[in-house]
Chains A and B, each alone.
Chain A
């Protein structure tokens, strides 16, 4: 079974802090994704990566950046956290064979105070 692991289940940070969310997958998948989930809005794509050091903006990239230095790890960075970034963040991965199934981690519930 594919395993996607997010480093923290719950995280509390302060406004203005730089925040790192980490995601690791164990299936050698090419594609990795970061979403945020908010009630009534579903999942919205922040960034995705289709290879090491490659990234593309999703639908809501403002205020975020990403890093993919190794194939198995995809990091989401909040450059200067704000209260409107309080949300559930979900990481997913998929292989390159289309249309592939995305496999999700259990999420990080981030609160910005």
Chain B
């Protein structure tokens, strides 16, 4: 079985400060990890994914994520937050195969304030 945990329901950060949204996973094997963002009344938009190789993955809108196998984590980061980054963020994992079904975390609401 595969699972994802996002331990924070909400993260607040001031504009211009670095932000981190946490994600840990549990799988029996090598995971493929994803981050998605959801703006109000919209579907999910893909930000970035880790498949293999370099542990630091760069994605859209200046976001990046670091895969840490020993800590089973895949935290989302951005060096300087913008008010427009305020949204709901989802981490997801798949083991591949079987239609590549994703298992999603419960989401973290990011609020960036002036």
Contacts and interface: CB of A to CB of B under 8 A. Distances in A.
Contact of B43 (A31, A98, A99, A106): A106
Interface centre among A33, A99, A102 (most CB of B within 10 A): A99
Given A45-B101, A48-B101, A99 B32 contact: yes
15 contacts: A31-B99, A41-B106, A45-B102, A56-B99, A92-B43, A92-B44, A94-B100, A98-B96, A99-B49, A99-B51, A101-B46, A102-B44, A103-B46, A106-B43, A107-B42
A42 B104 contact: yes
Contact of A102 (B41, B51, B102, B106): B102
Interface residues of A, number: 28
Contacts, number: 61
Given A42-B104, A48-B99, A104 B43 contact: yes
A14 to B, nearest CB: 24
Given A40-B106, A101-B49, A103-B46, A50 B32 contact: no
Given A90-B43, A104-B44, A106-B42, A42 B106 contact: yes
Given A40-B9, A42-B104, 14 more contacts: A31-B100, A35-B104, A42-B107, A43-B102, A48-B101, A58-B101, A90-B43, A98-B32, A99-B96, A102-B44, A103-B46, A104-B44, A106-B41, A106-B42
Interface in B23-71: 32, 34, 36, 41-46, 49, 51
B105 A105 contact: no
B49 A43 contact: no
A110 interface: no
Interface in A52-78: 56, 58
Nearest to B107: A42
Interface string A23-54: 00000000101010000111111001010000
A90 to B, nearest CB: 6
Contacts of A94: 100
Contacts of A43: 44, 90, 102, 104
